[in-house]
Amino acid sequence: MVLDNYSVHKSRRVQEEVAQWIEAGVTLFYLPAYSPQLSAIEPVWRDVRAHGMPWRTQTTLGDAYKAVEEALTQKAKRLQQKYNETHYETKK
């Protein structure tokens, strides 16, 4: 599993579970620090933050969750549309 250096990914809880993951055949590979170009999710998050959630006025965790979920859903639809247009145009 490829992880960035987000503090949650290096938390005590994660470290406590590493042995079990290794037994299950899962290897954790941490990206080098300050290397967003190696993380495929970074451009998606950047777009979602800038365009999908330009106003961050949520006052509860539930509202924030809903806003993120909606922004990610819209981004997924745009990516799927772009893929379909590209994929099917080349087949013609």
How many CB atoms are closer than 10 A to CB 71?
19
Residue positions counted in the chain: 92
Whole-number Cα distances in Å, 53 to 17, 30, 44, 63: 33, 28, 12, 12
Pair 30, 3: CB distance under 8 Å: yes
19-33: per-residue pLDDT in tens?
A: 998 999 998 888 888
37-84: per-residue pLDDT in tens?
A: 887 777 888 888 888 776 778 888 888 888 888 888 998 998 899 888
Residues 4 and 21: their CA atoms lie apart, in Å, by: 17
Question: pTM for the whole thing?
Answer: 0.53
